[in-house]
Amino acid sequence: MKTTTPLKFSSLPKTYTGLVALHVPRPIHDATAYDNAVEIVHALAGFKLNRDQEDYLELMAKLVEDYEHTALAEPTPVRGIETVKFLLADNGLTGDDLGRIIGVDRSIAYRILKGTRNITADHIKKLAARFTVSADLLLA
């Protein structure tokens, strides 16, 4: 759908059927489909629309919004104990190893991993040094 010249409102169909013939509304799964849908939305937005054009624009805008919400959303950063779990797994280490790294009994290390015991500032310093990461990543 991406054209070398931008779509102009004056050249767009006035009927829903005509708009669908130009670009069939479908769920967006990739960047190309996203770009095509955004091009249509931009061509319609800001103009006095008839009912068919309004309905079509509403649908296309919803499809674009859904794609942006799922595919383009920033991932939630992993923090705290989840970071510790990731670092241990990534380095092939266990709860026993965590205990040795932070200088506690293995039962305490496993309770930290389960979330029934809090990690201390001293533990965070030791983990940050061992894995060469910012201590901020280890704060909950």
The residue extents of the domains of the chain are 9-71, 81-138
By C-alpha distance, which of 23, 27, 16 is closest to 1? Answer: 23
Q: What is the pLDDT of residues 29-80, one digit of tens each?
A: 999 999 999 999 999 999 999 999 999 999 999 999 999 998 877 777 777 8
According to the model, what pLDDT value does residue 2 have? 53
Q: Which residues of 76-95 are buried (b: 16+ CB within 10 A; e: fewer)?
A: eeeeebebbeebbeeeebeb
User: Over 60: is that where the pLDDT of 3 sits?
Assistant: no
CB 54 within 8 A of CB 31: no
The first and second tokens of residue 84, run together, are 């510790």
According to the model, what pLDDT value does residue 128 have? 93
For the domain spanning 81-138, the CATH number is 1.10.260.40
